[in-house]
Amino acid sequence: MIPFLYKSYNELQSFYDTVIQTTDSSVTVIDSKEYVRTWTDGAEKIFSVNHNEIIGQPITRFFDYKDLEILQSLHDGKSIVAQFHQPRPDLFVLINSNPVYCNDEIIGAVVSETDVTNQVALNEKLFNMSHEMHRLEQEVAKYKDESDPFLAMNGKSPVIQRTIQLARKVCSVKSTVLILGESGVGKEVFAKAIHEASEAAKAPFISINCGAIPEALFESELFGYERGAFSGANSKGKKGKIELAQGGTLFLDEIGEMPLDMQVKLLRVLQERKYYRVGGEKEINIDFRIIAATNRDLQEEMRKGTFREDLYYRLNVVSLHIPPLRERREDIIELTYSFLNDFSINYNRPIRDLPSSIMHELLHYNWPGNIRELRNVVERLVVFATDGIIKQEYLPFHTTETLDNHTAHSLLLSNNNTILSLQEEMDEHEKKVIERALRILNGNKLECAKQLGVTRATLYNRLKKLGLQ
């Protein structure tokens, strides 16, 4: 019995040694006392430490404790997947580390490191090329007489594309437009795009935030005033926003916060197409388009008596609803990389990679502040990544998995700029194949297993692993 066990042990050891040495990656195995038990040729090549020197020695004798992710697996039971690490100024690696369990007890840990230094160098070259392309695009843009402002909008989701198509239709006319949407969805971006795509593109685009102006100053800001109109007035008088927008577009942001008495005066201007400055006697004719925007429910405001019904119907000739970011999650990836590129260039800070774990966090988050919040978060990531490496701790939030992992994976896969691990790609493809087969066979799992050429037990195992049960 003992010779048989000894032979079996030697055979297993031979297989183990061959598998370990066959991989191109660095593989290190330590025991429960932090002593090195396995140190591959790949490890020698990456870390320049001879096999005979390190085997049987504490790993902390050769490396700083803070640089040893394998100890997190050994002492905390932590699994690490594809973590970016720079052990030396000239070396970049991707780390995978796992604890080794026996009878529910950790008896050691295994770590593999893949040298990605060449890939990092290539990525930096690509970034520099992107930087130069961005500069050239800006130069070319200076010589373009015409451009489509809607093409600059990021997002390929059906819901945002429908909104863009509707916005395009109102560019050729001067109809009043009411833009509805939560804070941060990009209402002013749409307003500017409508203006820039209209015949009045070279005329002024004047924006006024109705929620930021004190009620006492609202009339003079909107209509302007003559000299001496009131105490403290400019001795030369002042043009109002309406006059400044002549021939162009007046954008009234947060129209729901406009005082009631000003709503009456604005309505009169829209009806009569003329007005007077404060303290003035000369009638001024107007020719401009109004685009209004709000994050409030104006119909509810009408019921409460805080917004005039007649003004609502005057403004609501064409209404444009901008969807919140949580309803167009497939656009988060494109928006994120766009902001990442912009801030990388603005701050002259090449970002080597955006870890998939962080993209999963971005996809899971509900974004109450919408695109504005996403932009701020990406800027924060770039600001903190002084070494060009974005880390999980730089995020200002941690999600509570509001989006299931399969949906997140699907969104990542749908974006050509995102590369998942080979296993993730294969799992996603396998899931689609099984789902299609079950759909064709009306859910008959036995027949599905036969058609796919696997046993029923194998199919059930795959269904469970892929979350299809």
Q: What is the CATH number for 239?
A: 3.40.50.300
Beta-bridge mates of residue 207 = 251
- The span from the CA of 77 to the CA of 345, in Å, is 39
Question: Which token pair is 82?
Answer: 């594809």
CATH code for position 406: 1.10.8.60
Residues 102 and 245 in one domain: no
- 70, 99, 115: which is the final residue of a domain? 115
Q: Residue 467: inside a domain, yes or no? A: no
Residues 302 and 389 in one domain: no
Q: Which of 373, 377, 379 is nearest to 396 (CA)?
A: 377
Backbone angles phi, psi at 177, to 5 degrees: -120, 135
At which residue do the structure tokens 């020719």 appear?
287
Question: Which token pair is 19?
Answer: 């598998």
**Helix ranges (DSSP H) in 77-116:** none
Domain of residue 237 covers: 149-323
CATH code for position 75: 3.30.450.20
Contacts of 351 (CB under 8 A, 6+ apart): 127, 340, 344, 382, 385, 388, 390
- 277, 297, 323: which is the final residue of a domain? 323
Check the CA dihedral 121-127-131-133 and report its sign.
positive
Looking only at the bridges linking them, the beta strands covering 26-31 and 105-115 are antiparallel
Instruction: For residue 377, give the H/E element and its range.
Output: helix 370-384
Residues 128 and 205 in one domain: no
At which residue do the structure tokens 């989701």 appear?
157
Q: Residue 450: inside a domain, yes or no? A: yes
pLDDT at 146: 53
Question: Which token pair is 403?
Answer: 């989006």
Contacts of 274 (CB under 8 A, 6+ apart): 283, 284, 285, 286
Q: Residue 454: inside a domain, yes or no? A: yes
In total, how many domains does the chain have?
4
Backbone angles phi, psi at 407, to 5 degrees: -65, -45
Residues 234 and 104 in one domain: no
Q: Residue 23: inside a domain, yes or no? A: yes
Q: Are 255 and 315 in contact, with CB atoms under 8 Å apart?
A: yes
45-59: buried (b, 16+ CB within 10 Å) or exposed (e) per residue? ebbebeeeebeeeeb
Residues 364 and 338 in one domain: yes
Residues 309 and 332 in one domain: no
Q: Residue 135: inside a domain, yes or no? A: yes
Contacts of 284 (CB under 8 A, 6+ apart): 243, 274, 275, 276, 277
Residues 261 and 374 in one domain: no
pLDDT at 130: 58
Question: Which token pair is 31?
Answer: 């025991």
State the DSSP code for 184: T
Tens-place pLDDT, residues 339-357: 998 898 888 888 867 887 8
pLDDT at 40: 86
Residues 85 and 210 in one domain: no
Question: Which token pair is 250?
Answer: 């007046």
* Three-state SS at 274: strand
Q: Residue 468: inside a domain, yes or no? A: no
- The span from the CA of 262 to the CA of 448, in Å, is 69
Q: Are 86 and 65 in contact, with CB atoms under 8 Å apart?
A: no
Residues 294 and 411 in one domain: no
Q: Residue 343: inside a domain, yes or no? A: yes
Low-confidence ranges of the chain (pLDDT < 50): 145, 401-402
Beta-bridge mates of residue 238 = 225
Residues 170 and 111 in one domain: no
At which residue do the structure tokens 């749409």 appear?
190
Check the CA dihedral 455-458-463-466 and report its sign.
negative
Q: Are 311 and 256 in contact, with CB atoms under 8 Å apart?
A: no
Q: Residue 308: inside a domain, yes or no? A: yes
Residues 316 and 219 in one domain: yes
pLDDT at 189: 95
- The span from the CA of 194 to the CA of 214, in Å, is 28
pTM across the whole model: 0.57
- 269, 288, 323: which is the final residue of a domain? 323
Residues 110 and 121 in one domain: no
